[in-house]
């Protein structure tokens, strides 16, 4: 098929690369000229494992452009633009602009909304574009985006027109994943409910972690592991720590809460999950203050700045919030991350150097290379914000971990 993809962020680029790899011809449009120029010189705007190889391999079926007229022949056009939350509400300007611009595609072509949008949006896209619309929410995670696209747990296809839905179902059949046909609104709702539930699960275990910290001999990690053995709870997304960040959960939970209020309902559990999450960074810094006393003028190394491992993304990163809080406390902060960068503090080229230069250390992102560094941390004040360190190898006088009673 000839496919257009509007918006070349994480979702757009990964979708483009995977569909090109399936033999489709894919034209990707983005308004950011530098991004398109870079992509045409094989320079990716993001780090995502395996993506550069997949794009390079399918280069002759992939075309990146700033011009909508270059997608005027497509049979399917995906909308994968960003949907930022501004002042707590979703902003749909990019989605509606894309819908308007896609009026140039053939009348019988189908628009697929993949951006995360509040219920009712796909229907508006249909009105604006005057084309049939399918809602096909995305569930990929940064860091494992290609794998998640090739083999998602499920695929949701919301449509009013059976033919339009069939076309999109055909496109994803190669994944072998279960496909659910729904209404447009159900598909949009499923995406928010899924992200909000995962955020809620993490905030729940983080509150258990707060409580365990008050109980010597009680480790919330053990509690999480054992409650996760109950199939009804499941072990996933029960990793306690600094909480959730990134470009999705924070904006989606807020947008969902506002959307509910507009509909005259409250999402109190989601509101509580947001509140619990907003305190994580401060709590971690308080643990360090508990060990070191005042942080004024003291040197502190933060290990990790990305919002999670295997990405260079620092949007809404808890590590950045920890850094900001440490700076507010007057600490001299330095950081190390294998991929991500921040201008807020001095970034050192290795974890060894970063640790050596500091008196206190906070582990803020659970990169693989931070496991097994207990020896490097001898004689330092250490806060493990992501539970990567083996507590039995740490000296309790100088060590605190999220969720670990002391």
What is the DSSP code string of 116-145?
A: ---TTHHHHHHHHHTSEEEE------TTSH
Q: Does 47 bind ligand UGA (CB under 6 A)?
A: no
Stretch that binds ligand UGA, among 33-41, 139-147, 267-275, 333-341 (CB under 6 A): 139-147
In whole angstroms, the minimum distance from the beta carbon of 307 to ligand UGA comes to 5
Strand partners, 336: 303
CB 196 within 8 A of CB 253: yes
Give the C-alpha separation, 240 to 69, whole Å. 48
> What is the token pair recorded at 140?
């990929």
CB nearer ligand UGA, residue 105 or residue 270: 270
| Of the candidates 162, 158, 161, the residue with the CA atom closest to the CA atom of residue 185 | 158
87 CB burial (10 A radius; 0-12, 13-18, 19+): exposed
Q: How far is the CB of 241 from ligand UGA (least distance, A)?
A: 5
CB of 243 to ligand UGA, least distance (A): 6
30, 132, 138, 169: which one binds ligand UGA (CB under 6 A): 138
Q: Is 109 in the site for ligand UGA (CB under 6 A)?
A: no
Q: Which is nearer to ligand UGA, 74 or 388 (by Cβ)?
A: 388
Among 308, 325, 387, 400, binds ligand UGA (CB under 6 A): 308
Q: What's the CA gap between 111 and 369, in Å, rounded? A: 42
**340's tokens:** 């991500």
Out of 68, 259, 307, 370, point to the residue binding ligand UGA (CB under 6 A).
Answer: 307
d(CA 117, CA 120): 8
Residue among 7, 28, 119, 241 that touches ligand UGA (CB under 6 A): 241
* Residue 308 C-beta: closest distance to ligand UGA, Å: 4
CB of 185 to ligand UGA, least distance (A): 18
Q: Contact residues for ligand UGA (CB under 6 A)?
A: 116, 138-142, 195, 198, 202, 237-239, 241, 243-246, 248-249, 252, 307-308
């Amino acid at each position: 098929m000839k496919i257009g993809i509007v918006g070349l962020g994480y979702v757009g680029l990964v979708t483009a690369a995977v569909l090109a790899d399936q033999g489709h011809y894919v034209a990707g449009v983005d308004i950011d000229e530098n991004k398109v120029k870079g992509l045409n010189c094989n320079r990716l705007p993001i780090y995502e494992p395996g993506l550069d190889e997949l794009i390079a391999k399918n280069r002759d079926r992939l075309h990146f452009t700033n011009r909508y007229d270059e997608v005027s022949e497509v049979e399917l056009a995906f909308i994968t633009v960003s949907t930022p939350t501004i002042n707590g509400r979703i902003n749909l300007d990019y989605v509606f602009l894309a819908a308007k611009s896609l009026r140039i595609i053939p009348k019988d072509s189908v628009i697929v909304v993949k951006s995360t949008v509040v219920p009712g949006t796909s229907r508006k896209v249909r009105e604006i574009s005057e084309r049939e619309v399918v809602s096909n929410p995305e569930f990929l995670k940064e860091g494992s985006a290609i794998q998640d696209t090739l083999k998602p747990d499920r695929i949701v296809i919301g449509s009013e027109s059976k033919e339009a839905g069939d076309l999109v179902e055909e496109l994803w059949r190669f994944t072998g994943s279960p496909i659910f046909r729904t209404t447009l609104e159900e598909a949009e709702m499923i995406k928010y409910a899924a992200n909000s539930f995962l955020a809620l699960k993490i905030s729940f275990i983080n509150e258990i972690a707060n409580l365990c910290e008050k109980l010597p001999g009680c480790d919330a990690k053990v509690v999480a592991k054992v409650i996760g053995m109950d199939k009804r709870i499941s072990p996933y997304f029960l990793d306690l720590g600094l909480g959730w960040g990134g470009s999705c959960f924070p904006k989606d939970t807020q947008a969902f809460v506002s959307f509910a209020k507009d509909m005259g309902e409250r999402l109190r559990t989601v509101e509580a999950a947001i509140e619990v999450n907003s305190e994580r960074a401060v709590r971690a810094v308080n643990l360090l203050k508990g060990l070191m006393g005042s942080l004024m003028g003291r040197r502190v190394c933060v290990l990790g700045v990305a919002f999670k491992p295997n990405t260079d993304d620092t949007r809404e990163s808890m590590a950045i919030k920890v850094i900001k809080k440490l700076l507010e406390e007057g600490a001299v902060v330095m950081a190390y991350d294998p991929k991500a960068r921040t201008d807020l503090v001095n970034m050192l080229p290795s974890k060894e150097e970063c640790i050596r230069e500091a008196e206190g250390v906070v582990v803020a992102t659970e990169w693989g290379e931070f496991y097994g560094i207990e020896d490097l941390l001898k004689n330092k004040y250490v806060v493990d914000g992501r539970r990567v360190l083996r507590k039995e190898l740490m000296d309790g006088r100088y060590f605190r971990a999220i969720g670990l009673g002391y």
